[in-house]
Structure 1
Amino acid sequence: MPLSLADFASLGNTPITIQSTFFPNVYLRMDGTGVTTFTGPGGGTVNCQFGAGPLEKFKLHTQADGSFSFESVTFPNVYLRMDGTGLPAITSGPGGGTVNCQFGAEPFEKFKLHAQADGSFSFESATAFPNAYLRMVGSGVTASTDSGGGIVNCQFNANGGGHEKFVLNVAG
């Protein structure tokens, strides 16, 4: 059963998964290998995985400003990072920007979670890139692989878009 905003307060350190609503059984994958200190451009790899294994598990952290950050369970203190620099101001097409990992949670690692009518969420950059949303395209991701696949980037003004909606679940 998908998590709701009301569930977030009681999660504590319980791991969650981030699943695409558009691509069946496709999850956000974050490999923080080598991300051991803060660097401006971030590092590691964020893409898609078929099914949820260790790299698809996150801890959801509420920030003081009411936003949320996603910390890797496998790579402690490594967070989901979204950089909307150069993102085209159009609501369709291939998106742009960069989604990767960062050591620590700074502005690029903070998200507003917009609840959708179907119980899913869209993730907007909380402060650094207003109107930039997390976008995940899992085309061709039909089996688990060591390196994952698909595309994870940003989309402009895409609250509730097909590639910009995610279900949050307690990790199994």
Structure 2
Amino acid sequence: MVLVALQSVKSPSSYVRLDGNGVTVPTNGGGGAVNVGTFVGTFETFTLVNNDDGTVSFKSVVFIDVFLRLDGAKVSQGQNLASGGGVVNAQSGAGPYEKFKINQKANDPGTYQGIVGIESFGFPGRFLRLDAAAGVVNVQGVFETLEEFKILVVGQ
């Protein structure tokens, strides 16, 4: 079991934070809240789950069987919304909305920076987005600056 935090590259003191209070059974729209944390605490720590289909899921270490969820239904692939869109929250259990593909960003020759985009499996071409200035985590249809993350190993 690998424990990770999702750190913004643009704002290195900002992390994806999941509050799964009240999320105990699967619901159509998910629940809880996902926003920006300024340190790596328990709400910012996830178990990295490797799924059989080659995707990964991010499972809360605090809330039992609660996963990071991305709904990109209202964001088109390739669409670059000024404030992002869609819904990022929590879900009990892991289905297509809770599965992700990790896209490695190309490195400069001779360097490794470990920058990735976290792409939705359920909504291909839609990426997790963290805007620290606005305090929001949401969805974007492109992989640009606010969609760049480092997946930090914080424990095992």
State TM-score, norm by structure 1: 0.82
Aligned to 1:136: 130
1:134 deviates by 0.5
Aligned to 1:120: 115
Partners in 1 of 2:8 and 2:28 — Cα distance? Answer: 28
The answer to whether 1:98 aligns with 2:81 is no
The total of aligned residue pairs comes to: 148
Aligned to 2:73: 85
Q: What amino acid does structure 1 have at the position aligned with 2:114?
A: G
Partners in 2 of 1:122 and 1:94 — Cα distance? Answer: 17
Partners in 2 of 1:103 and 1:60 — Cα distance? Answer: 16
Aligned to 1:15: 3
1:169 deviates by 1.2
* Among 94, 98, 105, the residue aligned to 1:109: 98
State TM-score, norm by structure 2: 0.90
Aligned to 1:155: 140
Aligned to 2:30: 42
The answer to whether 1:168 aligns with 2:151 is yes
Q: How does 1:44-59 map onto structure 2 within 5 Å?
A: 44-59=32-47
Partners in 2 of 1:75 and 1:120 — Cα distance? Answer: 27
Partners in 2 of 1:56 and 1:90 — Cα distance? Answer: 28
Moved more, 36-45 or 131-140: 131-140
Aligned to 2:110: none
Q: What amino acid does structure 2 have at the position aligned with 1:109?
A: E
5+ residue gaps in structure 1?
1-12, 141-149
Partners in 2 of 1:166 and 1:61 — Cα distance? Answer: 17
1:16 deviates by 1.0
Partners in 2 of 1:25 and 1:95 — Cα distance? Answer: 20
5+ residue gaps in structure 2?
108-112
Partners in 2 of 1:100 and 1:92 — Cα distance? Answer: 19
Aligned to 1:64: 52
- Of all paired residues, the percent bearing the same amino acid is 41
1:92 deviates by 4.4
